[in-house]
């Protein structure tokens, strides 16, 4: 696995663990309360937050960290939709 992919996946997992108590581990698989449409709405919100963060110049240390966090959020919501689709098979 590429180092960049490994670092990104590790950051995604750390963020998911941080929020395990919110819906329980893998709570996105409860499609009665966590629909693909709801997840997509959250992904869209996070994408907008990423867009705003990218507009902040210069890219200070704090701004770069915010951009990384928003990338992780976007990726995690996309992963949740991907995982739901895998569980429908």
Percent share of the chain, pLDDT over 70:
97
Per-residue model confidence (pLDDT) at position 27: 86
Whole-number Å distance between alpha carbons of 46 and 40: 10
What residues does each domain of the chain span? 3-87
pTM equals 0.91
Reference 80, options 18, 35, 33, 14; nearest CA is 35
CA distance 10 to 72: 10
pLDDT digits (tens, 9 = 90+) for 39-58: 999 999 999 999 999 999 99
């Amino acid at each position: 696995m590429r180092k960049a992919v490994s670092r990104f996946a590790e950051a995604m997992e750390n963020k998911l663990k941080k929020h395990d108590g919110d819906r329980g581990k893998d709570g996105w698989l409860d499609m009665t309360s966590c629909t693909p449409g709801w997840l997509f709405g959250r992904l869209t919100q996070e994408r907008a937050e990423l867009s705003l963060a990218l507009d902040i110049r210069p890219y200070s240390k704090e701004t770069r960290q915010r951009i990384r966090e928003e990338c992780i959020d976007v990726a995690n919501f996309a992963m949740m939709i991907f995982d739901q689709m895998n569980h429908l098979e």
